[in-house]
C-alpha cells in the first residue's frame, strides 16, 4: 500500500526536479566526505593492505602471517582477553544499574531533578580530575585499607591484584551510568500515556508492569545502550591508564595498552593486523546484537 503511494508520488514529481536536488546539494558534503576519506576511510584500506604484507618497504605479500603471529603473541592475547573479560563484567552492569535508576526516577519523588543532576554529573567531569581521589581511596595505604585494617581485615592491594578489575569497573560505571540513564529516561518518557494508564486500571503490579509493558517499549533503547556500553568498554584504557600508567597490573593490560606499546616500536604490520582484528570483533558483536534484537523485537516493534 505504502509502496504504491510512494511510487505514485515519484511518478507525479518531475524527474528533473529530484535530479536537481541531487546535484545542487552535492557541494555541501564535499568537505566532510573529503576529510573523512582522507583521515579515516582510505587509510583504513591501507591498514588492511599493511596487515597482509611483510613490511611497508619490502611490501611482499605474506597472506595471514601477521595475523597468525599476532594470535600467538602473548601480550596481544592477554590484552584481548582482559578487554573482553572487562566487557563481559561491565556491560551488563552498565545496562542494568542505569535502567533501575531510571525506573526509580520515573516516580514522582521529592528532589527528583537534584538526583538526576547528581547522577549525570560524572559524565561531564574529566576522569583525570577525579583520579587523585580514587588513588587516595584505593591505594595500598589508602582509605579503604585503613578502614579494613581498623576492623581487622587484611589489607587488599587494590591496584595490583585481581581486585583491580573491580576498581576499574566501578570507575567505568561511575563515568557511564549517567549517559545510559538519560537514554532510558527518554525511552520511559516515550511510552504512550494510555498504555501506562490501561495497565494501571487493569491492576497490574509494578514488577509485572515493568516486564510486560515497559520492557517491550524499551527494547530498542536497551539494545542501543548495550552497543554503546560495549564500545565504551573498549575505551576503558583511558581510566586504566590514568589510574595506573603505561604498564599496569597484568589483569588490567588492555588492547589500547598493546597498541600504544606497539606504536613505540612502529611495527606497522602488527598494528594493522591488530586494528583489523579488533574491527572484526566489534563488527561481529554488534551484528550479533542486531540479530538478537531483531528476534526479540520483531514481536513488539511498532
Helix (H) or strand (E) holding 46: helix 42-50
* Nearest approach, Cβ of residue 193 and another protein (Å): 18
**Is 165 in contact with 84 (CB distance < 8 Å)?**
no
**Residue closer to another protein (CB basis): 25 or 299:** 25
DSSP secondary structure letter of residue 123: G
Q: Which of 11, 12, 22, 295 binds another protein (CB under 8 A)?
A: 22
**Residue closer to another protein (CB basis): 58 or 113:** 113
| Residue 137: other Cβ atoms inside 10 A | 15
**How is residue 53 written as a grid cell?**
604484507
What percent of the residues of the chain are helix, what percent strand, and what percent coil, each to the nearest 5?
Answer: 80, 0, 20
* Nearest approach, Cβ of residue 3 and another protein (Å): 16
CA distance 191 to 87: 30
**Given the rule CB under 8 A, which of 61-69, 125-133, 157-165, 209-217 is the region that contacts another protein?**
125-133
**Residue closer to another protein (CB basis): 204 or 259:** 259
CA distance 96 to 177: 10
**How is residue 149 written as a grid cell?**
585494617
Residues 30-89 close enough to bind another protein by CB under 8 A: 30-33, 35-36, 38-44, 46-47
Q: Which of 62, 84, 93, 131 binds another protein (CB under 8 A)?
A: 131
**Residue closer to another protein (CB basis): 2 or 30:** 30
CA distance 223 to 87: 15
CA distance 83 to 233: 8
Site string for another protein, 93-122 (x = CB under 8 A): --------x--xx-x-xxx--xx-xxxxxx
Q: Which of 28, 72, 151, 202 binds another protein (CB under 8 A)?
A: 28
Give the count of residues interacting with another protein (CB under 8 A): 100
CA quadruple 158, 164, 168, 169: dihedral sign: negative
**Residue closer to another protein (CB basis): 53 or 271:** 271
**Is 155 in contact with 143 (CB distance < 8 Å)?**
no
Determine if 177 is a binding residue for another protein (CB under 8 A): yes
Site string for another protein, 212-251 (x = CB under 8 A): --------xx-xxx-x---x--xx-xx--xxx-x------
Amino acid at each position: 500500500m505504502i509502496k504504491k503511494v510512494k511510487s505514485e508520488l515519484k511518478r507525479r514529481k518531475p524527474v528533473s526536479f529530484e535530479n536537481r536536488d541531487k546535484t545542487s546539494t552535492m557541494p555541501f558534503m564535499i568537505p566532510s566526505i573529503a576529510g573523512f576519506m582522507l583521515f579515516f576511510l582510505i587509510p583504513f584500506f591501507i591498514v588492511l593492505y599493511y596487515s597482509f604484507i611483510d613490511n611497508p618497504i619490502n611490501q611482499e605479500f605474506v597472506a595471514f602471517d601477521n595475523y597468525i603471529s599476532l594470535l600467538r603473541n602473548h601480550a596481544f592475547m592477554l590484552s584481548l582477553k582482559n578487554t573482553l573479560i572487562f566487557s563481559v563484567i561491565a556491560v551488563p552492569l552498565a545496562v542494568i544499574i542505569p535502567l533501575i535508576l531510571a525506573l526509580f526516577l520515573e516516580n514522582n519523588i521529592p528532589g527528583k531533578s537534584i538526583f538526576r543532576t547528581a547522577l549525570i554529573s560524572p559524565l561531564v567531569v574529566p576522569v583525570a580530575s577525579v583520579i587523585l581521589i580514587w588513588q587516595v581511596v584505593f591505594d595500598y595505604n589508602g582509605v579503604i585499607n585503613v578502614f579494613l585494617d581498623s576492623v581487622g581485615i587484611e589489607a587488599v592491594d587494590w591496584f595490583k591484584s585481581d581486585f583491580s578489575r573491580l576498581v576499574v569497573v566501578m570507575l567505568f560505571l561511575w563515568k557511564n551510568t549517567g549517559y545510559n540513564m538519560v537514554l532510558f529516561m527518554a525511552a520511559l518518557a516515550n511510552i504512550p500515556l494510555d498504555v501506562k494508564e490501561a495497565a494501571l486500571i487493569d491492576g497490574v503490579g509494578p514488577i509485572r508492569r515493568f516486564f510486560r509493558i515497559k520492557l517491550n517499549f524499551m527494547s530498542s533503547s536497551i539494545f542501543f545502550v548495550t552497543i554503546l556500553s560495549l564500545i565504551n568498554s573498549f575505551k576503558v584504557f583511558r581510566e586504566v591508564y590514568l589510574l595506573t600508567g603505561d604498564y599496569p597490573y597484568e589483569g588490567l593490560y588492555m588492547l589500547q595498552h598493546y597498541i600504544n606499546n606497539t606504536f613505540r616500536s612502529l611495527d606497522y604490520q602488527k598494528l594493522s593486523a591488530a586494528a583489523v582484528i579488533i574491527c572484526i570483533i566489534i563488527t561481529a558483536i554488534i551484528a550479533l546484537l542486531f540479530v538478537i534484537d531483531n528476534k526479540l523485537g520483531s514481536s513488539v516493534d511498532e
